[in-house]
A and B are shown apart, each in its own frame.
Chain A
Amino acid sequence: MSTGGRVLTDEMVEAIKAFIPRYPSKQAVTLPALHIVNERLRYVPPQAVVEIAGLLDLAPSQVQDTLSFYGYFKQDQPHGRCRLWVCRSISCALRGADDLLDHLSHTLHVQPGETTPDGRVTLEYAECLGACEHAPCMLANDQLVKSVGHQQADEFVKGLP
């Protein structure tokens, strides 16, 4: 895969290794390791896959196989400082989620999956975020934004660093 320089810091390596005693197989640390890297780099570049594989005694293709199954880890470039997930499943859809996603796509000038040029926001659609009593809802990094109208969405995006 990549032949670039090392991307995992010592801190990341230690954080990954700390998970190894929890499981009877090193491969089980794959998802925790991907999360650890993704939290810090906001993506998991191919070189990180190679290095994770090295730590877990796996072939890089095994880590890549798992990574590519989940829609969660970007590989080409870091996602924005805010990854904004707009729920589009049925409870939110019944209360205007598709319009909300269109609206945000229009005002941010990005398609779902893309990042604004200033790196502030990556817009994403999500399947059910499990907050249907607050439909339509969005998850902005770790913050659940509830019962979002267009105006509220605009204000929320404006307030993002």
Chain B
Amino acid sequence: MPDFQPTLLAQVGKPESHTRRVYEQSGGYQALRKVLKGMAPKDIVETVKSSGLRGRGGAGFPTGLKWTFLPPNHPGPIYFCLNADESEPGTFNNRILMEDDPHQVLEGLIISCFATQARVAYYYMRCEYPLAFERTTAALAECYEAGYLGQNILGSGYSLDIYMHRGAGAYICGEETGLIESLEGKRAWPRIKPPFPAVEGAFRKPTVVNNVETVACVKQIVERGVDWFKSIGIPPDPANPRDAGSYGPKLYCLSGHINRPGCYEAPLGITCQDLIDRFGGGIWKGRQAKAAIPGGISMGLLKADEFHCPLDFNGPGKFGCLGLGTAAVVVMDETTSMVDFLLNSCRFFSHESCGQCTPCREGTHWATQMMTRIKHGKGRHRDLDLLAEIGETIGIMPGTTICGLADGAAWPIKNCIKKFRQELEEYIRRTNPTGWMETNPVPALELVGIH
């Protein structure tokens, strides 16, 4: 990695980096010009497909493949939704791009829309990002001024409008079909798939939903080529026929008990330890690490002796985590209580469960209630088995929910109980010396007579 040069973050930190003038000075919108001058949409799809680009929003689905699911020769309209509802705890890389380099995102978005032949795009941004909203809105106006948007872009005959659409504080809107429902003006209840959005999405039309960092990568791939992109990262594991590889640069977010929290660009596959040492400047206060979240809180936990885990799409899975997720690493030092961690995680998911599927709505709330009880010295060893049971039974993987939110809620529970059970048991025994061994159910509140 010694000769690795940041590309996605190359502009970040320069004065006025959010303006079109500065963006164009460093070659901005040349990729778009190249595309509109001589490339067919299918050429771009092919380019992105052969680059091996996988979605940066969390699921890691191959982007080019997702685009090919659109019905061929569709008369339209086809809609493009840019997912800027970044709200996975620990994650802020999209915010950095939208605040400090909004034109890179827009150029990637326009190219992606051309590739998919969308003529209307909705830029769905969470409402807690006021600066990103202001700068992106200003950048959009600059694009219309320059003829990069609107009718007959740069004389190519291609027309595109991009509209900003603000969320209203709901994590579930980051799930692509939740986003679509929210865009349509409804509660953001995810849809059962199939049909996938590529076939029937926003306003019942074929729709592509891509993440902010993903379209920024599209811009870089068109500009620098497939070979450049594939020279970075990790090729597919030959032992795993389902692995599509982990190519390209990635924006890693580092936060928690670290000396230099921040967003750092590195090749996919950097280890958790390298990220912490080389970019994060080590654990704060001269302490030892205890654990880290590998990619947003949904992904679970790595223990300190698992920090050699490579942060590519396959790495965290080998250590029992859900996956790479958003590549947001949250580091916890030796003083961190795993009871506090797990309560915080459970509280987040019970707050953000959309309420549509009962196992998730009830499971996340029961988990929070149990963790609250444990935290307050009323826990029993048996609670850990109940929590583990919730962890095993809620989610799209056990097949009990429509979307993956509950899997994200389950993973921290499962990982924490598996990797830190002893600490949790000790806490329960210490804080509840007379009741920790109780196995009878906690008495329910007495029901007021209904009949």
Give residues in A with beta carbon < 8 Å to B.
22-25, 27-32, 34-35, 56, 65-66, 69-73, 85, 88-91, 93-95, 126-135, 139, 141-144
Contact = CB atoms under 8 A, between A and B. Distances in A.
B342 to A, nearest CB: 10
Interface of B: 77, 86-92, 94-95, 126-131, 161, 163, 165-171, 182-188, 203, 205, 253-257, 261-263, 293, 297, 328, 330, 332, 336, 340-341, 344-345, 347-348, 351-352, 354
A90 B90 contact: yes
A91 B167 CA distance: 22
Nearest to B93: A130
A22 B163 contact: yes
B168 A91 contact: no
B89 A127 contact: yes
B169 A70 contact: yes
Contacts of B184: 25, 27-28
- Best-surrounded residue of B256, B263, B328 (most CB of chain A within 10 A): B256
B127 A72 contact: yes
A130 B322 CA distance: 21
B255 A133 contact: yes
Nearest to A134: B261
A16 B259 CA distance: 46
Contact of A70 (B86, B161, B168, B253): B168
A109 to B, nearest CB: 24
Contact of B169 (A65, A72, A94): A72
A31 B348 contact: no
A127 B130 CA distance: 16
Given A90-B345, A94-B336, A130 B182 contact: no
B256 A91 contact: yes
Q: Which 3 pairs across A and B sit closest by C-beta, in order of nearness?
A: A30-B185, A69-B187, A132-B255
Given A25-B203, A94-B332, A129 B256 contact: no
- Best-surrounded residue of A32, A85, A94, A134 (most CB of chain B within 10 A): A94
- Best-surrounded residue of A85, A128, A144 (most CB of chain B within 10 A): A128
B344 A89 contact: yes
Contacts of B86: 130
B87 A130 contact: yes
Given A91-B89, A130-B91, 17 more contacts: A23-B203, A24-B77, A25-B185, A27-B185, A27-B186, A73-B168, A89-B90, A95-B256, A127-B348, A127-B351, A133-B254, A133-B261, A133-B263, A135-B256, A135-B261, A139-B130, A144-B130
A94 B166 contact: no
B352 A127 contact: yes
Contacts of A142: 130-131
A22 B77 CA distance: 13
Given A93-B340, A130-B95, A132-B255, A31 B168 contact: yes
Contact of A31 (B166, B254, B263): B166
Contacts of A65: 186-187
B168 A35 contact: yes
A69 B185 CA distance: 11
Contacts of B168: 31, 34-35, 70-73
A106 B328 CA distance: 32
B341 A90 contact: yes
Contact of B256 (A70, A94, A131): A94
A25 B131 CA distance: 29
Given A25-B185, A130-B91, A32 B344 contact: no
